[in-house]
Structure 1
Amino acid sequence: MTMHAPVTFGAGGGEPYARALRTDGRLRLTDPDRPGEVTTLDVGRWSAAADQVDRSLLENVDGAVIDIGCGPGRMLVAAAQLGLPSLGVDVSAEAVAIARRSGGTALQGSVFDPVPDEGHWDTALVIDGNIGIGGDPAALLGRCRSIVREGGRVVVETNPDPLADRVYTARVMDADGHESAGFPWAEVGLDALHRHAAAAGLVARQSWTVEGRSFCELVA
């Protein structure tokens, strides 16, 4: 029997994520079960330099940073500018190539595979909706718990709706109609994040919202 790797964010089909990365375009994240609800993803923001909100996530970091789903690497560049060792992990070859060209250190692969220096990272970033990776937030947070050091931090960007808690098969489409294959994804608000974090052995220390983006700091 032939085994196929699971489809990941924006891959398969017309490869809209890779296309958007090359053009700084926008993507639409859709759920076939809720056709009227579409989330617009601004790939241009991911490809631009880290903004003030992004940089604020690194203000209290004094050790090595690992960015889960690093995309084109803006947080890696920001960390380097602060003198922080950093590594990005992303399944997209296109994203990793861009991150490396920007000067970041990035690894192509899944966060669920072994990563360098497991158990020793000071801070793990799970932002830009990446708590949805794999469609299993508790498993993802458990993986982050094993990656950071004892007392380390996991900074998660949550859905602005604190009650959001959905797992579904998503698809991504670009402005030209190129559509990805379906992939497992999740949307997690603050209330659900607290539950998933507790199941993963993480403790919520603080949460905040700035410029329409919501975050929660978890401690191992």
Structure 2
Amino acid sequence: MTVADATVPVARVFGSALRGHACLLVDEDGIVGLLPTAAWLRDATATDEAILGLCHGPTVDIGCGPGRMAQALALRGRPVLGIDVVPEAVRLGLGRGVAVLLRDVFDQVPGEGRWQTALLADGNIGIGGDPVALLARSREIIAPTGRVVVELAPPGTGVRTRHVCLETHVGRTGPFPWTLVGTDAIVAIAAAAALRVLSEHRYGDRYCAVLENAR
């Protein structure tokens, strides 16, 4: 299939990437780079574990992918549920022995309103291209005393939304919005979603923040 052919569903292209095929990330200006699927398919690293140390109590891993973060939480004895919209990701997560559901975060989530932590790792604050809407939805999923642990882009990134495509040997997706949120923008983005920043953290070249209910 060539780029000129009909676009391919995101779930099919991302699923092929999770089966080990190289996946290009493409935007309006051309190829941005390779999707780092190998990093997501491995076991959790020491840096992943440090980020997971910010998660308290039962945790829902939003956009869990193949389940490395959810698995690491489960190995700590933590109740955890992964949700993802890609069937291959769910299959791989279940293969790790993790509870994973094929579910859109904007659909009903089991235990909604009772989770102590909602995790948005690996840039998943970009899901849907609207970080305010995603954080507001995450606030609905957690308990009133819960928290959102969100991985961020480096300082100076601000808020950058672009339309991107994924491409593997099975073809290219149509463009879909994805947003980067830097550490310099999270206070304002969180406030717009009725959350506030409790703490910010840096682990090597990765940044994250812990958010709590502002009401």
TM-score, normalising length: structure 2 = 0.89
Whether the 8 Å contact between 2:84 and 2:103 is mirrored in structure 1 is yes
Percent identity, aligned pairs only, is 40
- Tell me how far apart the structure 1 counterparts of residues 140 and 210 of structure 2 sit (CA, whole Å): 16
Aligned to 2:134: 140
Deviations, residues 147-178 of structure 1 (Å, cap 9, x unaligned): 1111211111111243331222211123x483
Q: Counterpart in 1 of 2:191?
A: 198
How far 1:11 moved relative to its partner? Answer: 6.2
For 1:17, the equivalent position in structure 2 comes to 14
Tell me, yes or no, if structure 1 residue 208 matches structure 2 residue 210. no
> Which residue of 1 is the match for residue 71 of structure 2?
77
2:27 matches 1:31 = yes
Amino acid at match of 1:203: R
**What residue identity is the alignment partner of 1:162?**
G
Q: Is the 8 A contact 1:87 1:106 kept in 2?
A: yes
Q: What amino acid sits opposite 1:122 in the alignment?
A: Q
Contact 2:55 2:119 in 1 (8 A): no
List 4+ stretches of structure 1 deviating above 6 A: none
Deviation readout 1:80-135 (Å, 9 max, x if unpaired): 11100000110000100110111011111210001011111111110111111011
Provide the rounded CA distance (Å) in 2 between the counterparts of 1:141 and 1:11: 28
Does the CA contact (< 8 Å) of 1:11 and 1:17 recur in 2?
Answer: no
After superposition, residues 59-138 of structure 1 pair within 5 angstroms as 59-138=53-132
The answer as to whether partners of 1:15 and 1:178 remain within 8 angstroms in 2 is: no
Q: Letter of the aligned partner of 1:184 in structure 2?
A: P
1:65/1:182 CA distance change after superposition, 3 Å: same
**Matching residue of 2:3:** none
Give me the whole-angstrom Cα distance separating, in 2, the residues matched to 1:14 and 1:219.
31
- Structure 1 window deviating more from structure 2 (114-123 vs 200-209): it is 200-209
Gaps of 5+ in 1: 1-9
Q: TM-score, normalised by structure 1?
A: 0.87
Alpha-carbon distance between aligned partners in 1 of 2:25 and 2:206, rounded to the nearest angstrom:
18
The match for 1:163 is 157
Give secondary structure in 1 for the equivalent of 2:30. Answer: coil
Using the TM superposition, give the Cα deviation of residue 60 of structure 1 relative to its aligned residue in structure 2, in angstroms: 4.6
RMSD: 2.0
Q: 2: CA distance between counterparts of 1:78 and 1:154? A: 18
Aligned to 2:35: 41
Aligned residue-pair number: 207
